[in-house]
Structure 1
Amino acid sequence: MPPKTANPSARRTHLLEAAYRYALTHGLTDLSLRPLAEAIGSSTRVLMFLFGNKDGLVRALLERARTDELELLARFRRSDRPVGLVPAAHQVWTWLAADEHRPLLRLWTEAYARSLVEPDGPWAGFARTTVDDWLDVLAACQPQPERDGEDGATRRTLTLAVLRGALLDLLATDDERRVTTAVHRQLAYLDGEDRTTTAPDHDPTP
């Protein structure tokens, strides 16, 4: 039997946070309980006791990642004073493009992909839930007439597609300047304006 603690839930929370930090660095695809346990100062028996099995731990880690995702999205949810779809998308992209968020975004992307190819595993439903979460927040950023109009769902779906596709490109290349310029151009089109971003070192003189 693993060692008992006076407050098992507190112990579980502590180890989950440690395991989450480990997953942000090492990912989840090749997660193995023994090296994880050694890295976070625990044992496989304790992890099995607290999370049931490896799948249970993965589910807990995915839920922990979703907590971070929802905290991010809560910043942009202003249903009482909607900021508008395009301004919200610009704010979201600024957050997505920040270097310090790459580990978390790689973990989200990994979980998203695994949930598509392993729909019955511990990843089940992660991709669909993520899409629903993002669309819900983007809807809250739209003024009500747009949100409830025939074209509202199409516009927020397109916005999400732009952000997600650009994120995959950014994670693959780390070319933040190129990808951000493309995002701004596409959002300008979505907003009904063709605003071309000129690079700081570009000389517009013929």
Structure 2
Amino acid sequence: MPQEAPNPSARQVELLEAAYRYALAHGLTDLSLRPLSEAIGSSPRVLLFLFESKDGLVRALLARARADETALLDRARQPDHPTGLVPAVERVWTWLAAKEHRPLLRLWAEAYTRSLVQPDGPWAGFARATVQDWLGVLADCQPPSERDSEVGATRRTLALAVLRGALLDLLATDDESRLTAAVEHQLALLRDGSANGG
């Protein structure tokens, strides 16, 4: 997935942050440069100059959203937290379930889905890249003996499937207590499987 320019100007960074706040509130699917530029105090011409095209701006916004996503995932592998897959999933779910993160998660779900149905253009590779991001973080939280085994790969894939499914359900229903109970139930099974060597 293409990334934004390596050395953006201060104005480009400022407008990207403003556009990102706009995207969190309004989404990206129907993004139109005129309303966006009016909302952030710019013009379509300036945005096209700084980001080369509308697709370039969308790519920069997706990279910005992914930076927030990876920052949250990095919290799961902090050295002062307990190690292991189950504690990592618990930390990630607590973050995902927090109401203040819903705008980012809605934007993530929109970009993920759009990447699946429109695999070319600015969305290309977003879904695959986020799967790799999440699996990488979960792998980093596993002890080396588990991380490098086929069973370890299966366990983190299952954990990711549970998190993604619960997240989509949460965005659709806002039923945090039901979903937290379901995630905790699955974590108990993961914990039992680990204790039993599988």
In the superposition, the TM-score normalised over structure 1's length comes to 0.87
**1:88-127 aligned within 5 A:** 88-127=88-127
User: 1:178 and 1:80, CA in 2 relative to 1: closer, same or farther beyond 3 A?
Assistant: closer
Aligned-pair Cα RMSD in Å: 1.7
Tell me the percent identity.
76
Residue type of the alignment partner of 2:113: A
Counterpart residue number, 2:136:
136
Once the two structures are TM-superposed, the CA of residue 150 in structure 1 deviates from its matched residue by 2.2
User: C-alpha deviations, 1:65-105, integer Å up to 9, x for none?
Assistant: 01101111111225798610011101100000000000000
User: Structure 1 runs of 4+ off > 3 angstroms?
Assistant: 78-82
Q: Whole-Å Cα distance in 2 between the matches of residues 124 and 92 of structure 1? A: 25
Q: Deviations over 1:159-199 (max 9, x none)?
A: 00000000000000001011111111111111117xxxxxx
Aligned match of 2:5: none
The equivalent residue for 1:160 is 160
What is the alpha-carbon distance in structure 1 between the residues aligned to residue 124 and residue 60 of structure 2? 12
The answer to whether the 8 A contact 1:82-1:142 is kept is no
Q: Tell me, which stretches of 5 or more residues in structure 2 are unaligned?
A: 1-7, 194-198
The AA in structure 2 aligned to 1:83 is T
Worse-superposed segment, 12-21 or 68-77: 68-77
Supply the AA of the counterpart residue of 1:108: W
The residue number in structure 1 matching 2:45 is 45
CA contact (8 A) 1:24 1:103 kept: yes
Contact 1:111 1:123 in 2 (8 A): yes
> Contact 1:78 / 1:140 at 8 angstroms: preserved in 2?
no
Matches within 5 A, 1:77-96: 77-78=77-78, 83-96=83-96
Residues 96, 167 of structure 1: 8 Å contact kept? yes
Q: Does 1:27 align with 2:24?
A: no
- Corresponding residue for 1:180? 180
C-alpha contact (below 8 Å) 1:34/1:43 kept by paired residues: yes
- How many Å separate the matches in 2 of 1:150 and 1:15? 45
CA drift at 1:46: 0.3
Residues in 2 aligned to 1:72 and 1:130: alpha-carbon distance in whole angstroms: 12
Larger relative helix fraction:
2
Preserved CA contact (<8 Å) 1:37 1:44: yes
Structure showing greater radius of gyration is 1
Give the aligned partner of residue 151 of structure 1.
151
Matched residue count:
187
- What residue is the counterpart of 1:11 in the other structure? 11
State the alpha-carbon separation in 1 of the partners of residues 78 and 10 from structure 2. 33
Once the two structures are superposed, the pairs formed by residues 49-60 of structure 1 within 5 Å of their partners are: 49-60=49-60
In structure 1, list runs of 5 or more residues that go unmatched: 1-7, 194-206
Q: Which amino acid aligns with 1:70?
A: T
Give the Cα separation in 2 of the matches to 1:78 and 1:156.
18
Distance 2:153 2:182 in 1: 22
